[in-house]
Amino acid sequence: MAKKLNFSKSFGAYVRELRTAKGIGQRELAKKLNLAASYLNDIEKDKRTAPKNEILKKLSLILDADLSTIFDLAGASRKSIAPDIEEFIRDNPNLISFIRTLKDNNVRNEEIKKMQKKISKSDTKALIIAAGLGSRLKKHTENLPKCMLDFNGKTLLQRQVQAYRDSGIDDITVIRGYKKEKINYKDLKYITNTDYRNNNILNSIFYAEKVINGNIIIAYSDILFESNVVKRLMESDHDISVVVDIDWKGYYVGRRDHPLSEAENVIFDSNNQVVKIGKIGTQKEEVHGEFIGMIKLTDRGTEIFKENFHRVKKLYWDKPFQRATIFQKSYLTDMLQELVDIGIKVHCVIIERGWKEIDTVEDYQKAIKEFNE
C-alpha cells in the first residue's frame, strides 16, 4: 500500500524513500520515467525542483504513491502550490474571485470542509461482495466474515468504505451471507445472499440486482486498496471497466499459500481491451496483469451485464460455464470472459500496485505486520 505523506521530508527525499522501499534502482526508475539518471539523482538530492506533471503522474504509478501527495511535495519543491491546483486555477480564473470571497467573508475551515464534501459527492455507487465463508483464513474466520478482520484498529470493510468515501462515493451496499449479523454498520445498506454455501461470486452479485443500475463499482470484500485506485476507475467512461495491476508478480514472492496459479490474470490487447481473464491456463509470461477484483459499470454497462447474466443463467444452470464446473459456482471473471467472447468490450484500467488481497492466513499475517511497521 502507498506510504502516507510525511511533510518533514522534501520531494527528493520522499522519492528516494519510496524507490528504495520498492527495491528499484535509480537507473531503473530513470529509465521508466524516460529521464537521465543524473537528472533523477539531482532531484533526489534536492538539487533540482520536481519535474513536469506528466512525470509526476508516472512516478505516482511506479512508486505506488498517492498522486495528491506527489503534487503537494512537488509544489513545495518549487516553492509554490501543488502544480495540479495551479493548473486548475489557471484554467478556471473565476476561482480566484471565489477564493477571495471566502477570505473576505472569513469562511472558517469547518464550513469549507462541508462545502468540499458536498461538491465531491459522486453519483457512482459501490457494491461489496461479502457473503463467502473465507475458509482459507481458518481460525480467523471461524466466527467472523473476512471483511470484518481487524487491521490496526479498523476492519477490512471499514478501510474499503473509507477508500470509497474518500473518492466521493457514499451510496454503499454490502452483500452479506456467512455470519451476516457480524456486519452491521449503521451507515451502509445490506442485502442477504441466503444460499451463500451453494453459490459463488457471480450469483451472489445478483442477489443485489435491484441496485445494479447507473454508475456502479462492484468489488470483492477481501482486498485492501487505496482511494487512488477507486478514483482511477471512476475516471473510465467505458461501459464495462476492470482494474488490472501490471506490477502483480511481486505480490507472489514468498506467498506459499496462494500460488501464482491461483491468480485471476488478464491478457489485453493494444487498446487495453480484455482478451482473456480468469485463472488462465497458459504460460504466466504471456499474462499482462492481475484482475484485482473490482469493476465499474455505466448505466448501459449494467444493462449489458444483467441481460447477459440472465441469458447464460437460463442456458447453463446446473451445467459447466466457462471455467466453472457448474454455473452456480461461477466467478465474476467467468461472466466477464463470456462478455468478451460474444464481442462486448471490457476495458482495462491499468494500475501498478496500490492494493493487496487478503485470502489466506499468510496474507493476513503479512498485512498486519506491514500495518504495524
Query: Which CATH architecture describes the domain 125-372?
Result: Alpha-Beta Complex (3.90)
Domain regions of the chain by residue span: 11-80, 125-372
pLDDT category at 281 given cuts 50, 70, 90 is: low
Residue 4 has pLDDT above 50, yes or no: no
Beta bridge partners of residue 224, listed in sequence order: 356
pLDDT category at 118 given cuts 50, 70, 90 is: low
Residue 224 has pLDDT above 80, yes or no: yes
Cβ-based neighbours of 29, under 8 Å, separated by 6 or more: 19, 40, 62, 63
Length of the chain: 373
The pLDDT value recorded for residue 119 is 64
For the entire predicted model, the pTM comes to 0.72
The pLDDT value recorded for residue 6 is 40
**pLDDT tens digits, one per residue of 236-274:** 999 999 999 998 888 888 788 877 878 899 999 989 999
pLDDT category at 87 given cuts 50, 70, 90 is: confident
**Mean pLDDT value of segment 114-142:** 84
Domain 11-80 bears CATH identifier 3.40.50.2000: no
**pLDDT tens digits, one per residue of 307-324:** 999 999 999 999 999 999
Half-sphere exposure at residue 62, Cβ-oriented, CA atoms within 13 angstroms? 21
Chain position carrying cell 470484500: 221
Least confident of 14-28, 248-262, 285-299: 248-262
Residue 121 has pLDDT above 80, yes or no: no
Establish whether domains 11-80 and 125-372 are of one fold.
no
Query: Closest Cα partner for 355 from 66, 1, 23, 64?
Result: 1
The pLDDT value recorded for residue 1 is 46
**pLDDT tens digits, one per residue of 51-85:** 988 899 889 888 877 788 888 899 888 888 888 88
Q: How far apart are CA 307 and CA 301, in angstroms?
A: 10
The pLDDT value recorded for residue 94 is 87
The pLDDT value recorded for residue 278 is 94
Residue 348 dihedral angles phi and psi, to the nearest 5°: -95, 125
